[in-house]
Amino acid sequence: MKSVKPKKFLGQHFLKDLKIAQAIADTVDACPDLPVLEVGPGMGVMTQFLINKDRPLKVVEIDYESVAYLKENYPKLTENIVEFDFLKLNLEQIFDGQPFVLTGNYPYNISSQIFFKMLDYKNLIPCCTGMIQKEVAERIAAAPGSKTYGILSVLIQAWYSVEYLFTVHENVFNPPPKVKSAVIRMTRNETQNLGCDEKLFKQIVKTCFNQRRKTLRNSIKPVFAQNDAQGNQNKQEPKDHSRFFELEILNKRPEQLSVDQFIHLTNLVSAELTK
């Protein structure tokens, strides 16, 4: 079978450099003994190195041409090809509920969605590695106070330790993307419970960074507006939050808060909403 033609609507950019492909595949070695799930193998440039590791391997591929190519060129893999949309998969069924390493040359157009799904299955995925757009990798690894620190930084770093491993240039892909790429590794930290309402934590982080130029005093107001609107529907007396908005932490902007400070803020908001 001839090589697969990259499809723009799937965000496909096929890696051509075998040394880089092996280097990315080897990032899973930091989490030995666990099965590996590769997302978007394409023509198997990384898969060929993952197959040689002494551990179970499955691949998820939505492109029918790539699936046909993999079956023809990697017949041993045939029974372990999942022809499906990764974002719609129940990951508990992949390795019968066993933890696994997630890896891949991730499609740029859905990389953030892939990592949000990883967070939904964080207890099944102790390690996630792979290649993404350099800008997204920098965002995930960013520290508080930097311009790239944002929603992904906080939500992922709450549960994972992040390593920015190396940068990959455009000329090693077909077709070359318009941006540089980067390889990262995320390893589950020891946190089992944030010590706050996780749903509210996510809401606060997303709401505040959606207005990142404002101080928290202003950017957090939609959280209260939504809760108060619900209270009005239930015919509750309107609450006075004026004292809450005098808190010193609200003088900061969202990029100035560490994960622990966002957890603290979540508990303050939770107490205010339920008083």
Write the pLDDT tens digit of every residue in 45-82.
999 999 999 999 999 999 999 999 999 999 999 999 99
Question: Is the bond preceding residue 32 a cis peptide, omega within 30 degrees?
Answer: no
Cα 134 from Cα 130, distance rounded (Å): 11
Read off the DSSP letter of residue 172. Answer: G
Q: Which residues pair with 163 in a beta bridge?
A: 185
Identity (one letter) of the amino acid at 226? Q
Q: What rounded mean pLDDT belongs to the chain? A: 92
Per-residue pLDDT reduced to its tens digit, 169-224: 999 988 778 889 999 999 999 999 999 999 999 999 999 999 989 999 999 999 98
Here the tokens at position 148 are 């790239």
Q: Is residue 144 over pLDDT 60? A: yes
Confidence of residue 240 (pLDDT cuts 50, 70, 90): confident
Here the tokens at position 152 are 């992904």
Tokens 């990032």 correspond to 27
Three-class SS of residue 187? strand
Closest to 77 (Cα-Cα) out of 60, 100, 96, 63? 60
Q: What is the CATH number of domain 198-274?
A: 1.10.8
Tell me what pLDDT residue 175 has. 77
Distance (Å) of CA 170 to CA 62, 126, 177: 24, 30, 6
Confidence of residue 237 (pLDDT cuts 50, 70, 90): low
Cα 247 from Cα 263, distance rounded (Å): 15
φ, ψ for residue 144, nearest 5 deg: -55, 140
Q: Which residues pair with 15 in a beta bridge?
A: 173
Q: Is residue 166 over pLDDT 60? A: yes
Here the tokens at position 236 are 């509750």
Three-class SS of residue 83? coil
Going from N- to C-terminal start, the domains of the chain cover 8-188, 198-274
Q: Is residue 239 over pLDDT 90? A: no
Three-class SS of residue 230? helix
Assess contact for 89 and 128: CB atoms under 8 A: no
**What's this model's pTM, rounded to 2 decimal places?**
0.92
Fold of 8-188: Rossmann fold (3.40.50)
